[in-house]
Amino acid sequence: MKQSHQYHSISFRKIILFFIISLSTLSAAPSSTELIKAHVTTMLDSAELEGDAAEKFKTALLNSQEWQHQLCDSGPVQKPEIVIQTLYALWKADPALASNPIDQEMATACALEAPRKGHTPEQSIERYTYFRDKWQAGLLNTMYADLSVFQRRYLASGVQHGHLNSIESMQYQNEEVCLPAEKYTGACWYAAYQLHNPFGDSIHGPLYYRPFSQSWGNAAEMIRNVGGVCGSLSNFGAAAAIANGVPAATMGEPGHCAYTVMINQNKWQPAYSLSWKRGLHTSYHGSTWGWHMLNVKSQESWDKAKQSGNLRRLAQHQLNAKQAENARITIRKARLELPSDWQNWQLSVDILIASEAIDSHWETLHQDALKVLSPLSGEISYHLISKSIYPKVLPKDKESAKQRYKILKSFQQSITDWGVGRWDYQATLRDQIKRLNGNADQQDKFMLDTFATHAEKNIFTPAILETQLANIGKDETRKQRFIATLAKSLSNSKGGDFSKVINTMAAKVLPDAAKRGDKSSFQFIGKLTAQSYPATTFKTEPFPGILLSSGGTFGIQKPGNRYDNPARHWGVIEPHGGDFHTATKPATATIQLGNFGKLSGVNIVTRNGNFHRMKNAILQTSEDGKTWSDAHTFTKAKRSYHIDLSSKNINAGYVRVIQNNDSSIHFHLFHVYGKKQN
């Protein structure tokens, strides 16, 4: 008994000793201050700085924790040795920047962008000096004072067309294009839209600007005087904002160039934009609009960004110290607290790979992505899941088809809208369909379930239907079976056919697509609806040019009232014909043209009755859908109208009829003709 007691006492002492050692080990973990200092020290060592001032620079940087955070936590750091070498060159050129917060932030931003943009130290110094001197002279937008280092990186980066990043061009735009921040979305129009120069050279060739290269002192002045098309104009507009201390970036769109401006704190406004399919020329992690907005969101709170960086450094330290479980716990805390920071998710993957994590750890990462990242951005969430998580969690054997189906479906259940920015949802659908391993029955069931998941909000439903019909292809039997099942689901009845499901969906989708200006969804669903009602037999005489209304959207106030069937709205602006009926005063019928153009004429065919409702109505046009101009007044009441606009020199992207004296107007045809313009 005594021996047993002694044995247990020794065992208890060992447990206590182990607990004390564990606490000692835990308490010995480096602080966040120590970790970031060690990280910056590693960066300094990699830079191999030379010169008598090197030690003073190192001391200045290592004595400022805030400066270290600005360097490490203001977005991704590429080629840290070049970043440090550039920052050192900036500091040597202006040692006083270390004591001036605004100058220090701008210098740090220039250093961070140097390796990304290929800037030499001399170029970085030149750019930094421009902003320092302009700010001291009171010649930058007041926004400049409150920019973060991340936001200043857009100023340091410049625009796509390098000749507009010269100091001479920036100086010119600073003097000539001085606007409130929100007005820089229109700065592109300081230059005229010109496809050919005065000598007839196309801007798409090498000779467009060559005759004028020595005529003005800088590229910005040349572009303003010679003109250009969307690329030159968008770069001019973005460069003008940047030259005045307002963050901006150029963007590529299908067949077009646009740009975006930060019009106030963390609010970015697209400018000269024609599509949601945008690729930013200054981008971090990914170049789409969704990636851009997620990165912006990750920097909304500087305190959270710093804390997130602290957790990443701790997790990396723990992984290096072979404390894999602690590293997984720490990085999970980071991604849950700041899910908009992509670096938290990337490091999560890296830690799981490096620690040879078991399946349950990957499943936890999957669930976290669905819970906190998908609501922010389905695009970035699926990028993470498809590239890094599915290979670990999706079963590959045929016997686990149900489990694979359930996992794929869980992503659809995790998204409810576009999140921070619209994205290529159809690409996600196509990828998920492929992961069902060619099983047509499972694919059809998956798409039906997906449609049902998103039917209430009607955001993704047009894309779901379009993707599934493309997936089915020419298999008419399969198509009819899918449509019939979908119709049954939508109508909550035992039967249904193609026309019913399209009409049911069109009643929800077409007005919303018109309201959003979503031409692709409006056109796709509209074309399907045309199969369910006959084409018009009324003949009209076309005007010169093309049918500009074709391919656009059409909407009215209060669609779907008791006299109106939204499923027939598409035909109104197309050769097929259709109908609509307004029910609110003033009665308004609006076309977003399929093509912006110079108008030659408008044909309107009203429903056959109550012609008096058109008397004193007004035909109006607009370039942007916001500012309207009168083009014609309907002085007579009749069935059809043939309105010649060829002599009025009207360029428009929108056309509408507004009747201020009645709540009802109703057409079969509303056709707009003219010459397509860019």
- List, for residues 53-74, the tens digit of each pLDDT value: 999 999 999 999 999 999 999 9
Q: Is 570 exposed, middle or buried (0-12, 13-18, 19+ CB in 10 A)?
A: buried
Taking only the tens place, the pLDDT of each residue in 553-587 is: 999 999 989 999 999 999 999 999 999 999 999 99
User: For residue 43, what are the contacts with CB-CB under 8 A and spacing of at least 6?
Assistant: 71, 80, 81, 83, 84
The mean per-residue pLDDT over the stretch 154-163 comes to 97
Please return the burial class of 602, using the count of CB atoms within 10 Å of its CB with bins 0-12, 13-18 and 19+: buried
Higher-confidence residue of 369 and 26: namely 369
Question: What is the torsional sign of CA 601, 554, 186, 286?
Answer: negative
Task: Please state whether the peptide bond connecting residue 586 to the residue before it is cis, i.e. omega within 30 degrees of 0.
Answer: yes
Query: Residue 8: is its pLDDT beyond 60?
Result: no
Give me the amino acid identity at 221.
E
pLDDT at residue 218 is higher than 50: yes
The reported pLDDT for the residue numbered 490 is 62
The pLDDT of residue 23 is 40
pLDDT tens, position by position, 629-642: 999 999 999 999 99
What pLDDT was estimated at residue 411?
Answer: 98
Which of 405-419, 471-485, 538-552 bottoms out in mean pLDDT, i.e. has the lowest?
471-485
Q: Please report the pLDDT score of residue 651 as a whole number.
A: 96
Average pLDDT over residues 430-443: 93
Distance between CA atoms of residues 633 and 614, nearest Å = 9
Share the mean pLDDT of the chain: 92
Supply the pLDDT for residue 50: 94
Of 240, 239, 226, 233, residue with least CA distance to 197: 226
Q: Locate 603 and state its tokens.
A: 């044909």
pTM above 0.85, yes or no: no
Write down the pLDDT at residue 380. 98
> Mean pLDDT throughout 159-184?
97
481 vs 466: CA distance, rounded Å: 16
Rounded to whole angstroms, how far apart are CA atoms 586 and 580? Answer: 15
Residue 513: the pLDDT is: 84
Among residues 596, 594, 595, 599, the alpha carbon closest in space to that of 619 is found at 599
Location of structure tokens 């990462």: 365
Residue 438 vs residues 33, 441, 449, 472: alpha-carbon distances, Å: 53, 9, 17, 11
pLDDT for 142 equals 97
Whole-angstrom Cα Rg for the chain: 31
d(Cα 38, Cα 625) in Å, to the nearest integer?
56
Cα separation values, 423 from 232, 380, 520, Å? 26, 9, 14
- In angstroms, the CA 409 to CA 390 distance is 13
The residue-averaged pLDDT of 410-432 equals 97
Query: Mean pLDDT over residues 207-232, rounded?
Result: 92
543 pLDDT more than 60: yes
Phi, then psi, of 593 in degrees rounded to 5: -60, 145
The stretch 637-652 carries a mean pLDDT of: 96
Taking residues 169-180, what's their average pLDDT? 97
594, containing H or E segment:
strand 587-606
The token pair that represents 212 in the structure block: 């004028």
Q: What percent of the chain has pLDDT over 90?
A: 79
Task: Report the pLDDT value the prediction gives residue 5, as an integer from 0 to 100.
Answer: 46
Please, what CATH class does the domain formed by 529-676 belong to? Answer: mainly beta
**450 burial via Cβ count (<10 Å: 0-12, 13-18, 19+):** buried
Measured CA distances, 627 to 259, 507, 622, 623 (Å): 22, 28, 6, 7
Question: Residue 266 in contact with residue 296, Cβ under 8 Å?
Answer: yes
Domain ranges of the chain: 30-157, 424-487, 529-676
